[in-house]
Amino acid sequence: MLNRQRKLLLIDDNEVDLKINSKIITISKLFEEIVLCQSGKDGLAYLAKYAEDPDGLPDFILLDIQMPEMDGFEFLERFKNFPKVVTEKCLVAMLSSTLDFGDITKAEANPHVITLLKKPLFLKELEELLKK
Amino acid sequence: MNDTIIKVLYIDDEENNLLSFKAAFRRKYEVYTANSASEGRKILEHLSVHVIIADQKMPQTTGVQFFTEIAITHPDPIRILLTGYTDIQALGQAINDGYIYHYVTKPWNELELHNSMKNAYGAYKSRLDLKNKIAELEKTNDELNRFIYSISHELRAPLVSAMGIVNLVKMEGLFESSGEYWPLIETCSIKLDYYVQKTLQYYKNNKTDSEHVEIDFKTLIPDLIEVYSYSDKETYFYTDIKQEMPFYGDSFRIEVILGNLISNAIKYQKEDEQNKKVEIQVTISATEAEITISDNGMGILNEHLEKIFTQFFKIKTNHGSGLGLFIVKEALNKIDGKISVSSSSLDGTTFKITIPNVK
């Protein structure tokens, strides 16, 4: 990999998955720092905090779909209203166990989403995605 | 039905008729009367009746006119017309348009009118029953939809977490650390996930309407091979895809069909075969797609050939769910496709399917 990415933001309401995926990514050494958020709201707050200080923004966001209160798609609705520095720097991939066709097409159709990764997360798929 | 008292509204401009109607039927029915169409409408505003009887010949509004009007505002009550003279044209029209259930000639006789009202109530009742049944079915359907959605989310999410943990265990080099236990957990999770996925496929196949999109087999087939050969790199795939013209079909079902067949071709290889291979040929014409999938695997016993498409059929020596080919067959039925199979333990198995090109 040419330039190692710096910061990853993981948004998932499920504590177990948050733990598993952050561990997998830690082992992979693909990122220097992993930030965990347990809700879409926390994720937005984190981004807002660094809107004025783009160096602190995550390079990559892994976003769960099914979350209480604010699901992944609602998160994206708010995300797109952030200034360009934010939306252009932070690449978003969704990470979900969904098999629901509606979810899959919706994720693929969203202009802010690079792809939908399936749980369980396989390192190989993440690596290939980051290469692009 | 016997418990309900039938509510009848009788409209006639002649007061005497109203009185004799009441006298004749008040003991058996809950009788309401009105001496004009507008009076009748007033009653309907406050009260729902089962049967309405109206005289045809009334000043201002005739019976047919009245029925035509209330057919929209009060569609539920069953309408009976009383007519003293034969105004065939108005009557015929009203009956054909469905505004009138029965007509009874004047002067009415008690038995005839009684039967007529009884039948009318029967019609009312069965219409209501049908309506309730439909509402009930819609509710069940709705629940089923939500249940399926929850299978694809809530039920699968923890399973997928478990698979993630196994994944992590492998990455940390602990997979062999507890004897067989981790591999067994992995096998169980994969199996359960497979069942969940097949159940969803089966259900979606039953529910979803066909949607026809253009399908490019030159990309679809390699994609499917990649998905299904992910865990098995030993099998070699030969493909020969002849598609010179557009093909339109139901992409969800075609993926399900081909996916299951490809996954079977991989799963049912001979274990000691050095040269595991699967050949896929596709020929697209203006009328259909002809697809052949052959393997050099273990083959299917002659006596099993007839049963392979039945639900939960599986052979002892293998780890199938008994759902794959059943779903293939069901999906083909939905899109008017056909499948045939030939097999021998020497040469392996060949499935041949044809799917109509719908454009």
Provide the CATH number for the domain around residue B268. 3.30.565.10
Q: Which of these three, B69, B84, B108, is where a domain ends?
A: B108
Residues of A in contact with B171 (CB under 8 A): 24, 27, 123
Q: Which of these three, B44, B78, B108, is where a domain ends?
A: B108
- pLDDT range class, residue A131, cuts 50, 70, 90: confident
Is residue B80 included in any domain, yes or no? Answer: yes
B332 and B258 Cβ atoms separated by less than 8 Å: no
- CA B243 – CA A57 distance, rounded (Å): 48
Domains along the sequence of chain A with CATH: 5-131 (3.40.50.2300)
Q: What is the mean pLDDT of residues A102-131?
A: 88
B320 and B310 Cβ atoms separated by less than 8 Å: no
Q: Report the pLDDT value the prediction gives residue B1, as an integer from 0 to 100.
A: 46
- CA B48 – CA B68 distance, rounded (Å): 17
Is residue B131 included in any domain, yes or no? Answer: no
Strands B30-34, B78-83: pairing is unpaired
If asked whether residues B85 and B217 sit together in one domain, one would say: no
Is residue B192 included in any domain, yes or no? Answer: no
Residues of B in contact with A24 (CB under 8 A): 164, 167-168, 171
Q: Report the pLDDT value the prediction gives residue A73, as an integer from 0 to 100.
A: 95
Is residue B132 included in any domain, yes or no? Answer: no
Q: Side-chain half-sphere of B142: how many Cα atoms within 13 Å?
A: 6
If asked whether residues B214 and B341 sit together in one domain, one would say: yes
Query: Which of the pair, B314 or A131, is modelled with greater confidence?
Result: A131
In a mutational test of the B interface, the residue from A119, A122, A125 whose CB has the highest number of chain B CBs within 10 Å is A119
Nearest 5°: the CA angle B324, B325, B329 is 125
Q: Is pLDDT at A1 greater than 90 in this prediction?
A: no
Residues of B in contact with A17 (CB under 8 A): 157, 161, 164
- CA B281 – CA B286 distance, rounded (Å): 17
- CA B282 – CA B352 distance, rounded (Å): 10
Q: Is the peptide bond between A68 and the residue preceding it cis, with omega within 30 degrees of 0?
A: no
If asked whether residues B99 and B225 sit together in one domain, one would say: no
DSSP B119-180: HHHHHHHHHHHHHHHHHHHHHHHHHHHHHHHHIIIIIHHHHHHHHHHHHHHHHTT-TTTTTT
Q: Report the pLDDT value the prediction gives residue B88, as an integer from 0 to 100.
A: 72
Q: In this predicted model, what pLDDT tens digit does every residue of A43-53 receive, in sequence order?
A: 999 999 998 88
From the list B90, B32, B87, B38, the residue with the least C-alpha distance to B60 is: B38
Is residue B313 included in any domain, yes or no? Answer: yes
- CB–CB contact A24 B164 (8 Å): yes
Query: Which of the pair, A36 or B197, is modelled with greater confidence?
Result: A36
Facing B168 at nearest CB: one of A24, A66, A99: A24
* The pair of three-digit structure tokens given for residue B125, joined into one six-digit string: 């009742």
Is residue B116 included in any domain, yes or no? Answer: no
- CA B114 – CA B31 distance, rounded (Å): 13
Exposed (0-12), middle (13-18) or buried (19+): which is B125, by Cβ within 10 Å? Answer: middle
The C-alpha of B351 sits at a distance from chain A's nearest C-alpha, in angstroms, of 27
Q: Report the pLDDT value the prediction gives residue B85, as an integer from 0 to 100.
A: 65
Expressed as residue numbers, the domain containing B333 is 210-356
Q: Report the pLDDT value the prediction gives residue B212, as an integer from 0 to 100.
A: 87
- Number of structural domains chain B divides into: 2
Is residue B323 included in any domain, yes or no? Answer: yes
Q: Report the pLDDT value the prediction gives residue A3, as an integer from 0 to 100.
A: 53
If asked whether residues B101 and B219 sit together in one domain, one would say: no
In a mutational test of the A interface, the residue from B163, B170, B186 whose CB has the highest number of chain A CBs within 10 Å is B163
Facing A99 at nearest CB: one of B152, B163, B167: B152
Residues 187-216 (B) with a CB less than 8 A from some CB of A? 196-197, 200, 204
- CA B175 – CA B167 distance, rounded (Å): 9
Q: Report the pLDDT value the prediction gives residue B87, as an integer from 0 to 100.
A: 66
- CB–CB contact A121 B167 (8 Å): yes
B270 and B320 Cβ atoms separated by less than 8 Å: no
If asked whether residues B227 and B351 sit together in one domain, one would say: yes
Q: Which residue has the tokens 């093909």?
A: B247
Q: How many residues does chain A have?
A: 132
Residues of A in contact with B161 (CB under 8 A): 14, 16-17, 20, 119-120
Q: Report the pLDDT value the prediction gives residue A2, as an integer from 0 to 100.
A: 42
Facing B167 at nearest CB: one of A14, A24, A97: A24
Q: Report the pLDDT value the prediction gives residue B97, as an integer from 0 to 100.
A: 79
Q: Side-chain half-sphere of B238: how many Cα atoms within 13 Å?
A: 10
Least confident of A73-82, A118-127, B229-238: B229-238
3-state secondary structure chain A: CCCCEEEEEEECCCHHHHHHHHHHHHHHCCEEEEEEECCHHHHHHHHHHCCCCHHHCCCEEEECCCCCCCCHHHHHHHHCCCCHHHHHHCEEEEEECCCCHHHHHHHHHCCCEEEEEECCCCHHHHHHHHHC
Facing A14 at nearest CB: one of B161, B172, B252: B161
Is residue B223 included in any domain, yes or no? Answer: yes
Q: Which of these three, B70, B86, B108, is where a domain ends?
A: B108
* The pair of three-digit structure tokens given for residue B299, joined into one six-digit string: 């083959």
* The pair of three-digit structure tokens given for residue B31, joined into one six-digit string: 């009788």
- CA B13 – CA B35 distance, rounded (Å): 4
Residues of A in contact with B158 (CB under 8 A): 16
Q: Report the pLDDT value the prediction gives residue B3, as an integer from 0 to 100.
A: 63
Q: Is pLDDT at A10 greater than 90 in this prediction?
A: yes
B254 and B215 Cβ atoms separated by less than 8 Å: yes
Mean pLDDT by 10 residues, chain B (359 residues): 81 93 93 94 93 91 90 92 74 80 87 92 93 94 83 85 94 92 90 84 78 90 83 84 93 90 88 88 94 90 80 70 85 92 88 92
- A123 shares contact with chain B (CB less than 8 Å): yes
Q: Which residue has the tokens 């783009």?
A: A54
Facing A99 at nearest CB: one of B156, B167, B171: B156
Q: Report the pLDDT value the prediction gives residue A15, as an integer from 0 to 100.
A: 92
Residue B199 Cα distances to B151, B192, B327, angstroms: 9, 11, 9
If asked whether residues B100 and B216 sit together in one domain, one would say: no
If asked whether residues B94 and B214 sit together in one domain, one would say: no
SS3 for B277? strand
Facing B163 at nearest CB: one of A23, A120, A123: A120
Is pTM beyond 0.80 here? no
- CA B208 – CA B256 distance, rounded (Å): 13
- CA B260 – CA A47 distance, rounded (Å): 43
- B161 shares contact with chain A (CB less than 8 Å): yes
Residues of B in contact with A123 (CB under 8 A): 171
Provide the CATH number for the domain around residue B39. 3.40.50.2300
If asked whether residues B104 and B224 sit together in one domain, one would say: no
